[in-house]
Structure 1
């Protein structure tokens, strides 16, 4: 259990780092804001005695001069504060880039930032990160994956102007590397990469979107299949849900197709929940989970970890719909009726008690991680 301080905590990588720290059971990270970075004394006071400072803050887009100056300035401010610290942190971990020192304004600025942090004399871990993708990335900023997912979620088609090979790492794996978390099967600090061309990536995501548009599930055979799908779903939520299910009726009665999977493993189970009772109050990092109410009435509640707003869906067995739980959103289902609630659940993987990927987090109570 480590006490860490983080710059850039409100960004894409910062949010995933804080979620994983929560999963690991560590204290809530100390957040260094940009205003505090500009005050060396504030930095020194906040990071005193910390096990590690993770420097994630940076400037990725903009005019080349502003990008270069911004990255160097942020590192210089942090270094100045660290040098004034009476009880320095045990180490500095820098979210650097594989582009460091490549002759571009951005790459050279990242290399200069690394030198400034190394010059503090503290143990220094310079982590060269490739292209990161994952849930809730900013389109047209964080990655091509985020951009393509947003375009597809809005009903468009991605445009590829220049095709080249990308090396993509899921952001939770990068967070595990930065935090020094050992691999557990859900995350991997070795940062296994997906090597894919831009056009192939666009086509792959378009295929996922086409299948999922009608509630069917794409092939989820390997880890990047699952993570690309979860990334796409983060751009669909909550506006695409609940999604109506195909119904078939004849003289015998009715049939509802709750789950159609295009390859890959899975597990289906059913529950009965008594009136006023609930199930859930947890979140998943990678697991895909589907809820379908077959009998009774219920409310499904969801809250993104580290955020305040609660999304609510009223659902009923009289008109079955599906709601898929987005990863890193705490969720639960509450029986709002007077009769037993019958719910069908599907997950994309067999339940493994040694690696459940189920992390306790109340939907409607104070959060362990805040933005």
Structure 2
């Protein structure tokens, strides 16, 4: 299906676009602030619209009216299409809670669900608090605020309370499920945790990962939160320096230390001039450690231009951990065979490899 995705460059929009790209089931047309004026024309040639664009911060009036205006624009574009268009709305559990945001989201939902009477399918997806990689502190969620604070060596004050947290990739899956569901409403559920518990876990991650050691990754929530945390550290804290221990026999280097969960290690040899990788992951935590030879590790965040490169060598052992949603590769830049150890936090499963081919050297938007 041809799917128009509004808010494609935002937090939830980027993750939804990434997941759709990985699954390859839909032709996604990205709509951002830059091409919002083209919305009607783009919807006119689409089968569905996933409406993610929203206003989270601003004055009370800006938040309330902003969300309503965006939904009204989408509704007008659907009416002008001249054919049935499925609409998926990224709503919130705050819908109708009396706050400016909740009032705006409720009115936006009404503007969109009114399309049902005109022959358009509309699916209301009620999302709880979402968190994940590349969230903006003091904007997207308290988790993003905590992540950046802990990474900066700070300990924010906490008003503890229970909260339901849904990783943004799970939210993206719910939106993509809504493109084909027969239901009119979806209510994806997250994990019930305490706000203080989230901060304690982040401090645990920092204490472990600051030494190059992976923390306990024994639950899906821990994995999702750790991926969120390490995304905020990239690229400033990389590569991770490894400590060689040498004597007359040679050198010993510990490349991976992990406190819990699965884990799988492998080694590869690469001849000069050859590149390995050229893929990205949605969940997998992966470490590259060069133990012999010279190489360049290159990474690019999906749908962005900038390429981050690390020149690494077995003479100064170090490791680079691949952030999720970043295409990455490793190229032998030396004159001899390159020896690399690869480690991932989970066992390789052929039926669910979480590895999606994509080149690092490619223009943004692809």
**Fold-level match, TM-score > 0.5?**
yes
CA distance in 2, matches of 1:309, 1:224: 30
- Structure 1: unaligned runs, 5 residues or longer: 183-188
The one of 152, 155, 158 equivalent to 1:157 is: 155
Partner of 2:123: 125
The one of 209, 218, 224 equivalent to 2:215 is: 218
Partner of 2:81: 85
The one of 256, 260, 277 equivalent to 1:263 is: 260
CA distance in 1, matches of 2:115, 2:220: 38
Partner of 2:111: 116
Q: CA deviation at 1:101?
A: 0.8
- Structure 2: unaligned runs, 5 residues or longer: 180-185
Query: Are 1:268 and 1:347, in contact at CA under 8 Å, matched by a contact in 2?
Result: yes
Deviations 1:113-164 (A, max 9, x none): 100011123211011000111110111111111111111222222331x111
The one of 61, 65, 75 equivalent to 2:57 is: 61
Deviations 1:205-237 (A, max 9, x none): 111111001100001111111111111111000
The one of 268, 286, 303 equivalent to 1:289 is: 286
Counting only pairs closer than 5 Å after superposition, residues 158-307 of structure 1 correspond to structure 2 as: 158-160=156-158, 162-180=159-177, 191-307=188-304
CA distance in 1, matches of 2:11, 2:203: 23
CA distance in 2, matches of 1:166, 1:93: 25
Query: Are 1:92 and 1:123, in contact at CA under 8 Å, matched by a contact in 2?
Result: yes
What SS does structure 2 have at the residue aligned with 1:29?
strand
Query: Are 1:18 and 1:28, in contact at CA under 8 Å, matched by a contact in 2?
Result: no
Q: CA deviation at 1:190?
A: 7.8
Query: Are 1:298 and 1:316, in contact at CA under 8 Å, matched by a contact in 2?
Result: yes
1:35/1:297 CA distance change after superposition, 3 Å: closer
Query: Are 2:127 and 2:188, in contact at CA under 8 Å, matched by a contact in 1?
Result: no
Partner of 1:343: 340
Partner of 1:70: 66
Deviations 1:279-312 (A, max 9, x none): 1000010001001111100000000011111100
What SS does structure 1 have at the residue aligned with 2:258?
coil
CA distance in 1, matches of 2:239, 2:131: 26
Q: TM-score with structure 2 length normalisation?
A: 0.93
Query: Are 2:298 and 2:309, in contact at CA under 8 Å, matched by a contact in 1?
Result: yes
CA distance in 2, matches of 1:113, 1:81: 14
Q: Please report the RMSD computed on the Cα atoms of aligned residues, expressed in angstroms.
A: 1.8
Query: Are 1:17 and 1:176, in contact at CA under 8 Å, matched by a contact in 2?
Result: yes
Q: TM-score with structure 1 length normalisation?
A: 0.92
Partner of 2:136: 138
Query: Are 1:302 and 1:329, in contact at CA under 8 Å, matched by a contact in 2?
Result: yes
CA distance in 2, matches of 1:267, 1:98: 39
Q: CA deviation at 1:28?
A: 4.3
Q: CA deviation at 1:341?
A: 0.3
What SS does structure 1 have at the residue aligned with 2:290?
strand
Q: CA deviation at 1:50?
A: 1.8
Q: CA deviation at 1:166?
A: 1.1
Partner of 2:16: 17
1:181/1:264 CA distance change after superposition, 3 Å: farther
Q: CA deviation at 1:30?
A: 1.7
Aligned: 1:106 with 2:104: no
CA distance in 1, matches of 2:178, 2:258: 32
Number of aligned positions between the proteins: 357
Partner of 1:5: 4
CA distance in 1, matches of 2:277, 2:259: 27
CA distance in 1, matches of 2:39, 2:57: 26
The one of 339, 358, 363 equivalent to 2:360 is: 363
